[in-house]
């Protein structure tokens, strides 16, 4: 696997664009489109929040279609809590894109991000659709990544190439946005806001594509937190158009494993970029839980620690109060023996077999928290499973951004 330039247009047969439709008061790009030149199979993962935005509800239904060729996205307005008019506007977004691309409406997926409870200015999307379609190009990935941003400060995109059996080269590209209201709990179709879009030229069945996406989500986006708040609009899509020409992946063999490992890597890289760009974030924190009795238990504890506002405040204040970590582990609901647990702040052991290391160097520990990248490790010494989660600090800037977001 090698990392290559490009985002959603890195794979063969994918074009993208991003334009200014006037949805955002700032005048920045706010309408985006991905288009596959050939019909593709698609899968999606969506928020488990009961209060779901209209585009989420629509895309869930449309993913039952066998083929897809486009995804239209707007930023600056979540199209959530708008009742039947919101549902109609999500439908109309798909209709506008389908007309411009000469597709069936069900072949177009829809996503939105922005402020909840404001009517979607569908007339602006209508006015911008011609420029959006005409702007599609192989170089349009950057415009797409920019147009889906809300309070993000940087574009987030990446791509990788992998070699399957018989030397066939497959590309997977992706772009995402999200820096606030970040605590995704995503489920795939078969079972501020985070939006993520993957494209690949791999030939793969719809069933195996959904399985690969689910595996990738579990170790990436489902393991991050900026503020512990789950969005109404969280969505992750993947389209595969088969133009790489590989033997179609229809079962869990060597090619499936190579493809899924690459997708996991790409999803994790994009997830980390979201956390690093978290609203007001000054620190990036990785929490590793090792030697748990099961992978699920390791994930539960790692994620619980990542949502501790007390810990996040300590990180911002550069105060190595490891007690916040121990308390979060104990509150996770996972059964473990606290008298076996070790905790490390960077390389410094601060808890040994459930007891404070009395002579640890607090100044060295404080220096760990002064760094931008901080590693926290919890060793349960109860099994052989591990998991990682990622979070940011809770700063004064975060409070400022979110106290004025809807004004």
The confidence score (pLDDT) of residue 399 equals 81
User: Number of folded domains in the chain?
Assistant: 2
CA distance 31 to 149: 10
The confidence score (pLDDT) of residue 402 equals 76
Binning pLDDT at 50, 70 and 90, where does residue 391 land? Answer: very high
Identify whether residues 246 and 297 lie together within a single domain: no
- For the stretch 80-129, pLDDT in tens is 999 999 999 999 999 999 999 999 999 999 999 999 999 999 999 999 99
Among 248, 276, 304, residue at a domain's last position: 276
CA distance 361 to 307: 26
Extract the runs of DSSP E, i.e. beta strands, from 229-380: 235-240, 284-292, 342-345, 348-352, 355-356, 373-379
Whether the per-residue pLDDT at 384 is higher than 90: the answer is yes
- The sign of the dihedral angle between the CA atoms of 157, 52, 47, 162 is negative
Among 226, 244, 276, residue at a domain's last position: 276
CATH assignment at residue 337: 3.10.20.340
List 171, 188, 193, 391, catalytic entry: 193
Return mean pLDDT, the chain: 94
Identify whether residues 42 and 97 lie together within a single domain: yes
Contact 291, 382 (CB under 8 A): yes
The confidence score (pLDDT) of residue 403 equals 73
Neighbour-count burial of 169, counting CB atoms closer than 10 A to its CB (0-12 exposed, 13-18 middle, 19+ buried): middle
Among 232, 249, 276, residue at a domain's last position: 276
Q: Taking the model in full, what pTM does it have?
A: 0.92
Identify whether residues 108 and 211 lie together within a single domain: yes
Identify whether residues 318 and 256 lie together within a single domain: no
Identify whether residues 138 and 214 lie together within a single domain: yes
- For the stretch 49-64, pLDDT in tens is 888 999 999 999 999 9
CATH assignment at residue 166: 3.60.70.12
DSSP string of 99-115?
A: HHHT--GGGEEEEEEEE
- For the stretch 68-81, pLDDT in tens is 999 999 999 999 99
Identify whether residues 253 and 305 lie together within a single domain: no
Identify whether residues 63 and 174 lie together within a single domain: yes
Identify whether residues 162 and 303 lie together within a single domain: no
- For the stretch 335-347, pLDDT in tens is 999 999 999 999 9
In this structure, the dihedral spanned by the alpha carbons of residues 211, 212, 218 and 222, taken in order and rounded to 10 degrees, is -100
Binning pLDDT at 50, 70 and 90, where does residue 42 land? Answer: very high
Domain range for 14 is 2-276
Whether residue 9 lies in the annotated active site = no
């Amino acid at each position: 696997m090698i990392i290559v330039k490009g985002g959603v247009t890195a794979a063969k047969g994918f074009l993208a664009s991003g334009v200014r439709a006037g949805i955002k008061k700032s005048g920045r790009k706010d309408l985006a489109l991905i288009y596959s030149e050939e019909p593709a199979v698609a899968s999606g993962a969506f928020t488990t929040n009961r209060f779901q935005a209209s585009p989420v509800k629509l895309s869930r239904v449309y993913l039952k279609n066998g083929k897809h060729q486009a995804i239209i996205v707007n930023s600056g307005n979540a199209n959530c809590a708008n009742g039947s008019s919101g549902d109609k506007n999500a439908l109309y977004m798909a209709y506008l894109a389908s007309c411009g691309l000469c597709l069936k409406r069900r072949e177009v997926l829809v996503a939105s991000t922005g402020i909840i409870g404001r009517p979607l200015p569908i007339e602006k999307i209508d006015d911008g659709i011609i420029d959006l379609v005409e702007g599609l190009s192989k170089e349009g990935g950057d415009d797409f990544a920019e147009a889906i941003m809300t309070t993000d400060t940087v574009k987030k995109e990446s791509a990788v190439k992998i070699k399957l059996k018989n030397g066939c080269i497959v590309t997977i590209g992706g772009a995402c946005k999200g820096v606030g209201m970040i605590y995704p709990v995503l489920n795939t179709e078969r079972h501020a806001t985070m939006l993520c879009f993957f494209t690949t030229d791999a030939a793969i069945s719809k069933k195996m594509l959904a399985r690969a996406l689910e595996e990738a989500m579990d170790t990436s986006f489902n393991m991050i937190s900026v503020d512990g708040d789950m969005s109404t609009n969280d969505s992750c899509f993947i389209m595969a158009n088969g133009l790489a020409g590989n033997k179609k992946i229809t079962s869990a063999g060597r090619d499936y494993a190579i493809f899924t490992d690459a997708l996991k890597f790409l999803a994790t890289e994009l997830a980390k970029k979201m956390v690093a760009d978290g609203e007001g974030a000054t620190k990036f924190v990785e929490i590793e839980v090792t030697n748990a009795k099961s992978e699920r238990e390791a994930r539960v504890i790692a994620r619980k620690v990542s949502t501790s506002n007390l810990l996040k405040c300590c990180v911002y204040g550069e105060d190595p109060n490891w007690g916040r970590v121990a308390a979060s582990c104990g509150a996770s609901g996972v059964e473990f023996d606290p008298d076996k647990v070790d905790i490390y702040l960077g390389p410094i052991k601060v808890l040994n077999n459930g007891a404070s290391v009395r002579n640890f160097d607090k100044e060295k520990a404080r220096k760990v928290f002064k760094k931008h990248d901080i590693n926290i490790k919890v060793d349960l010494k109860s099994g052989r499973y591990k998991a990682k989660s990622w979070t940011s600090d809770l700063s004064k800037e975060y409070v400022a951004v979110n106290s004025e977001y809807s004004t």
